[in-house]
Amino acid sequence: MSGSIIVGTDGSPAATAAVRWAADDAARRGCPLRFVSVVDHWAYGIPKFPVSGGDPLTSHAERALSAAEAVARERQPDVKISTEIIEGIPARVLRDKAREAVEIVLGSRGLGGFAGIVVGSVSTHVAGHAPCPVVVVRPGWSGGRGEIVVGVDDSPECEPALAYAFEQARAHGDALRAVHAWQLPAHPLAPEITYDVEEVREAHRRVSREKLADPRGRCPEVPVREEIVYGHPVDALVQASRGAGLLVVGSHGRGALGSAMLGSVSRGVLHHAECPVAVVRSPSSSRAGST
């Protein structure tokens, strides 16, 4: 497979977990790894107030890259590794680097994050704007196998997520669990409207089967378990993430700024899932959000 897996690292525990995940994925998929550490001088006012004795931020970035390379080489010694230090705003730099990548992997929260915030601004921004899949890993992840979980719905944005999920399941050698969550529409101005619940449930089963037909045909060796769940998609996917190896979601966000690009479901699972989460944007939405 051509292209690198790019990993943003700042030496934080979450970034170290991301390094482990990316090293394993690079070995599975035959991709090189590129570790990137971003130096943001302006965030600390350093250009305004030069310091003596060298640049502490660049020195920290060098240490973070050395540590990341050591972790990756110990875990997967045969993976090709390169490193890079870039000056700029981390979210923007990593978003732009994603254009060169088959995948970008980030920790859920870096050293600059606030206590109590599960997913930091950098990983949220990159997941909401990058044109390639973005995997967000929480601190403490150290490996272990588990099924690949993917959210299924009737939108076009679901299809790239399904393709990525099948690819990951094939690479992992694990089963795929396809979760389609549904709820009956609420009509507060016309509460007398009723539905045939079994008929609605069967309609959702058809949606799931139709969406899975094409990727199943391309990856017939991947075992698939379909799950039709009554409830909110975030609740269903978070429940399915327990014990999973990876949770994959598409992104329906169409906002112009920040996490609005993610959409409510992908944003919700990023904050609450118990396994690494991959956010996969469709090519059209990625182009729309690249400004």
Residue 263 pLDDT more than 80? no
Residue 260 pLDDT more than 50? no
Judging by beta carbons within 10 Å of its beta carbon (0-12, 13-18, 19+), is residue 106 exposed, middle or buried? buried
**Whole-angstrom distance, CA of residue 44 vs CA of residue 158:** 40
Residue 143 pLDDT more than 90? no
Per-residue confidence (pLDDT) for residue 251, from 0 to 100: 83
| Residue 242, both tokens | 């327990």
Q: CA-based Rg of the chain, rounded to a whole angstrom?
A: 20
Judging by beta carbons within 10 Å of its beta carbon (0-12, 13-18, 19+), is residue 288 exposed, middle or buried? middle
The average pLDDT across 50-60 equals 72
The average pLDDT across 113-121 equals 56
Instruction: Please write the tens of the pLDDT for every residue from 264-275.
Output: 888 899 999 999
**Whole-angstrom distance, CA of residue 280 vs CA of residue 103:** 10
Q: Which domains does the chain have, with CATH numbers?
A: 4-137 (3.40.50.620), 148-288 (3.40.50.12370)
The average pLDDT across 57-76 equals 95
Instruction: Please write the tens of the pLDDT for every residue from 206-256.
Output: 999 999 999 999 999 999 999 999 999 999 999 999 989 999 999 865 443
**Whole-angstrom distance, CA of residue 156 vs CA of residue 167:** 18
Scanning the structure block, which residue is given the tokens 């990876």? Answer: 246
Locate the DSSP E strands across the chain: 4-8, 33-39, 81-87, 101-107, 134-137, 148-151, 176-182, 224-230, 246-250, 277-280
**Nearest by Cα to 130 from 84, 159, 99:** 99
